[in-house]
Structure formats: C-alpha cells, structure tokens
C-alpha cells in the first residue's frame, strides 16, 4: 500500500476512534472519512494538471502515480 494511502487510512481511523468508537456507525464513519480524504488527495494529485492544463489521460496517470498504483 502506498505510504500516503496508509496515512489517510490512519487519519480516518483516528477520526472514527475519536468520534464513533464503540458505536454501530463506526465503520460507516471510517469509510466515509477515508473516501473524503481520498477525494481531497485526488485534488492535490491533479493540481499540476490544472496548472498545466494537461489531458484527461495524463490526469489519470497523475492520480495513479500519486497513489503508487501500477497496472
């Protein structure tokens, strides 16, 4: 797993622990927060595209590279 994804997962877990530990909605809170953090991080990954106006294909490659995803 990419280091940044692990950091986001840890952040989501801390959020769920701090706000929903022991509650039936814990998993939902974790999943929701993790998804929110991933979407925000995609914005970070795409910032060079927005600055340089690269193609959608290049944007996809930027996101994959940012998260260390290999096909």
Q: Which two tokens stand for residue 20?
A: 């929903």
- CA-based nearest residue to 1, from 46, 48, 34, 49: 34
CA distance 5 to 2: 5
pLDDT of residue 52: 65
Q: Is the pLDDT of residue 31 over 90?
A: yes
**Would you give the DSSP letter of residue 23?**
S
Q: Give yes or no for a contact between 61 and 49, defined as CB atoms under 8 angstroms apart.
A: no
**pLDDT tens readout for residues 49-66:** 666 666 667 777 777 777
Longest Cα–Cα distance of the chain, Å, equals 46
């Amino acid at each position: 797993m990419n280091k940044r994804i692990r950091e986001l997962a840890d952040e989501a877990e801390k959020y769920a622990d701090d706000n929903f530990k022991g509650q039936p909605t814990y998993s939902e809170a974790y999943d929701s927060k993790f998804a929110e953090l991933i979407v925000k991080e995609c914005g970070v990954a795409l910032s060079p595209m927005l600055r340089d106006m690269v193609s959608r294909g290049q944007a996809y490659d930027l996101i994959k590279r940012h998260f260390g995803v290999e096909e």
